[in-house]
Structure 1
Amino acid sequence: MIQILEGFPGNVAAVSANGKLAREDYERVLIPAVEAALVGREKIRIYYELGPDFMSMEPGAAWEDLKLGVSHYLQWEGIAVVTDHEWIRHSIDVFRFLIHGQVRTFPMSRANEARDWIVGNLVRNTIRLS
C-alpha cells in the first residue's frame, strides 16, 4: 500500500510504502501525486519511504514504477529513498546511473535529514548515507 505523506511543498511528491505494492497503488496514489506535483513545474522531487513492513512489489507495480520513471525521466530533480532494507539501498546504488537527477538513500533513523535534503537546496552529493 502506498500513502501520501503530508507536510511537503508542492514540488515534492512524498509517499510511504508498506506491505506488498500492487499496480493499483501506482495508478491510484503515486502516479496522481507525481502528476499533481508536475502541474506548472518542469522538475519535481520524490520522497519515498519504504518502511519496515514493506515486503515487495507485484510485477504490475514494478512495471508501473518503470513506466513512471521513464515517462518523466528528465523531470526528476531529486529523489530521497528512506529505508532500512539493505537490498533496496544496494539496488538504488547499482542503478543510480540510470536515474536523472540526484538520488540519495537514507536509513529510517535519518528520515528527518532526508526530508530536509529533498525540500532544501539539493547538494551535489549522491553518496549513500549509512
Structure 2
Amino acid sequence: MSVETHGISVGIERSGSKFYMTFVAVGKLTHEDYQYMVPMLESAIAGVDEPEINVLADITELEGWELRAAWDDLKIGIAHGKSFEKIAIVGEGKLQQWMAKIADWFTPYDAKFFDSKKQAREWLND
C-alpha cells in the first residue's frame, strides 16, 4: 500500500529588502487541500488595505488538480487576483511552462515561469 503525498504549503520569505509569499504544491491537489490553504491566504492579507503581493510558487512536484480543486484555484484568482502583483512560477517541463503562460493571459497579475528559484527571486526583486 502506497501513500500519496499532496498539498500546499504557504510561507513568507525575504529576499533583499522585499517580502513575498511562497507556495509549494505537491502531488495532485484536492478540494480539501484548498480548504486548508485558503484561510491561511486570507488571514495573511486581512487588514491590508491595498495589498500588492509577490508570490514564489514552486510547482516542480505538482501533478495536477482534481476538478473541484481546479475550481477552487479559479475562485482564489477571482476573489484575490487584484491583490497579486507578480507571481514567479518555478517548475520543470513544457506542461508546467504552458500552465504559467495561461495564468499570465487570464489574470490581472504578471506571471512568469522559471527553471530555478534563484532566477524567480531575482525577477521578484526587480
Tell me the TM-score normalised to structure 2 length: 0.78
**What is aligned with 1:55?**
63
Letter in 1 for 2:78: V
Query: What stretches of structure 1 move > 4 A for 4+ residues in a row?
Result: none
Q: For 1:68, which of 67, 76, 85 is the aligned residue? A: 76
Q: d(CA) in 1 for partners of 2:119 and 2:26?
A: 21
Q: d(CA) in 2 for partners of 1:23 and 1:36?
A: 19
Tell me the TM-score normalised to structure 1 length: 0.76
Q: d(CA) in 2 for partners of 1:37 and 1:103?
A: 20
**Residue-by-residue CA offset, 1:2-26 (whole Å, 9 max, x unaligned):** 1224534895321111111111211
- 1:35 equivalent to 2:11? Answer no
- Whether the 8 Å contact between 1:13 and 1:37 is mirrored in structure 2 is no
- 1:13 equivalent to 2:21? Answer yes
1:41 is displaced (CA, Å) by 4.6
- Flag structure 1 segments of 5+ consecutive residues without an equivalent: 122-130
Q: d(CA) in 2 for partners of 1:11 and 1:27?
A: 25
**Residue-by-residue CA offset, 1:49-87 (whole Å, 9 max, x unaligned):** 012x32111111101100000111222211111000311
- Flag structure 2 segments of 5+ consecutive residues without an equivalent: 1-6
**Alignment size in residue pairs:** 116
Distance 1:14 1:60, change over 3 A: same
Q: d(CA) in 2 for partners of 1:70 and 1:61?
A: 14
- Whether the 8 Å contact between 1:20 and 1:55 is mirrored in structure 2 is yes
1:95 is displaced (CA, Å) by 4.6
Q: For 2:99, which of 80, 84, 91 is the aligned residue? A: 91
C-alpha RMSD of the superposition: 2.2
Q: d(CA) in 2 for partners of 1:11 and 1:67?
A: 24
Q: d(CA) in 2 for partners of 1:86 and 1:100?
A: 23
Distance 1:13 1:27, change over 3 A: farther
